[in-house]
Amino acid sequence: MKSLKLLTPSPNADEIKIEITEQSKPVIGPTEALIRVSMAAINPSDVKASLGHMPQAVFPRTPGRDYVGVVEEGPKAWIGKTVFGSGGDVGITRDGSHASYLVLPTTALIEKPSLLTDAQAASMGVPYVTALDGWSKAGYPAPGDKVIVAGAMGKVGLAAAALAKLYGATVIGIKRRSTAAVPGHACAELLDMEDSDLERKLMDLSNGSGYSCVYNTVGSPYLDLALNVLSHKGKQILISTLDRNCPFDIFKFFRKEMTFYGVDTLKMDTVASNQVLKKILPHIISKRLELPDEERPLIYTMADAAKGFSITFKNGGVGLLKID
């Protein structure tokens, strides 16, 4: 059995240092389960933590927030079941899923729906927990709502759009011109952020009334645009940013009585994360939640993990790690 180890923060994305170590079978406590991991995601947050960008990340540790695998030890009712999930603590403040074995609290276990492939289940934890947390804070869209997803072809953007469509909203997506549209995305219209006429087109698509919410997965590049196209008492959900110090029109903000909602899933441990993720299980099983028909992420062996981390950092998206 093997695990990946980050001993110290790496200096940059081209020099990520990951060791492969032998992993002894962990001894679990009475309220824990032992998961034999089959596949795990390489998320951007995994890479940023490996670079020392997250002060809460401990070293040494095994990385990996998302996972899919089979319960080998724990409550009798769970033995042999395939589970999946995520966590803000997993792979950040304690050993994570980039290993043959992962120890979880039994209260964190959620069974993988048979409709999901291992690749889908292993790569949807962070994106869908993030999207769900944002919508739950700002209020789920209602039928007839018009919302914008900025960064709509990213993993969180795709999830946020799919959920908004599930709840009956019309979704307008914004992407970079160089980013290809993902087949099966949930956006009724897809516009390019570089379009010099973008604001007018957005307002035309809303018949001049503006939008109830902008799910902003990118941050600063869309901040001012969102303020301009949101309707009275409009909401903006923020999960990330390129620039940390972002000037904006405060007068417009309070005159339109807007609200910002911040999302940080690193503050949600695996029990809390999976309680959120459970909310979409009925919609997956009923097929009401339409998952994008995207190409599966690149799959890396444990020996190629450092390459996977580097590519994920440079290109975005999510990689997959096949556990030996």
Q: Specify the pLDDT at position 296.
A: 61
What pLDDT score does 200 carry? 98
Write down the H helix ranges in 10-154.
Answer: 44-50, 118-122, 125-138
Q: Are 10 and 16 contacting, i.e. CB atoms less than 8 angstroms apart?
A: yes
CA 153 to chain centre: 12
225-266 pLDDT, tens digit per residue, is 999 999 999 999 999 998 999 988 999 999 999 999 999 999
Neighbour tally for 198: CB within 10 Å: 16
Mean pLDDT of the region 171-189: 95
Q: Closest Cα partner for 87 from 45, 117, 125?
A: 125
Q: Mean pLDDT for the chain?
A: 95
pLDDT over 70, % of the chain: 99
| Confidence label for 315 from pLDDT (cuts 50, 70 and 90) | confident
- Terminal Cα distance for the chain, rounded: 8
pLDDT tens for each residue of 193-210: 999 999 999 999 999 999
Would you say residue 295 has pLDDT above 80? Answer: no
**Model pLDDT, residue 304:** 94
Residue-wise burial string across 65-93, b where 16 or more C-beta atoms lie within 10 A, e elsewhere: bbbbbbbebbeeebeebbbbbbbbbbbbb
Q: Has domain 127-263 been given CATH number 3.90.180.10?
A: yes
Q: Is a pLDDT exceeding 70 seen at residue 220?
A: yes
Strand partners, 101: 36
- Are 321 and 300 contacting, i.e. CB atoms less than 8 angstroms apart? yes
| Residue 186 · residue 202 · CB < 8 Å | no
Closest to 280 in 3D by CA, of 116, 41, 37, 49: 116
Q: Which of 186-195, 270-279, 297-306 has the lowest mean pLDDT?
A: 297-306
**Looking at the chain, which runs of residues are DSSP E strands?**
2-5, 19-22, 32-42, 67-73, 82-85, 101-105, 146-150, 170-175, 189-192, 211-216, 230-238, 259-262, 299-300, 319-322
Count other C-beta atoms under 10 Å from residue 59's C-beta. 12
d(C-alpha 318, C-alpha 299), whole Å: 10
Give me the CATH code for the 2-123+292-322 domain, please: 3.90.180.10
**Tokens standing for residue 166:** 């599930």
Query: How are strands ordered across the β-sheet holding 230-238?
Result: 189-192, 170-175, 146-150, 211-216, 230-238, 259-262
Among 43, 115, 46, residue whose Cα is nearest residue 82: 115
Domain boundary assignment for the chain: 2-123+292-322, 127-263
Q: How far is CA 6 from CA 3, 151, 155, 197, in A?
A: 10, 30, 25, 46
Provide mean pLDDT across the span 281-296: 88
Find the mean pLDDT for residues 32-49: 96
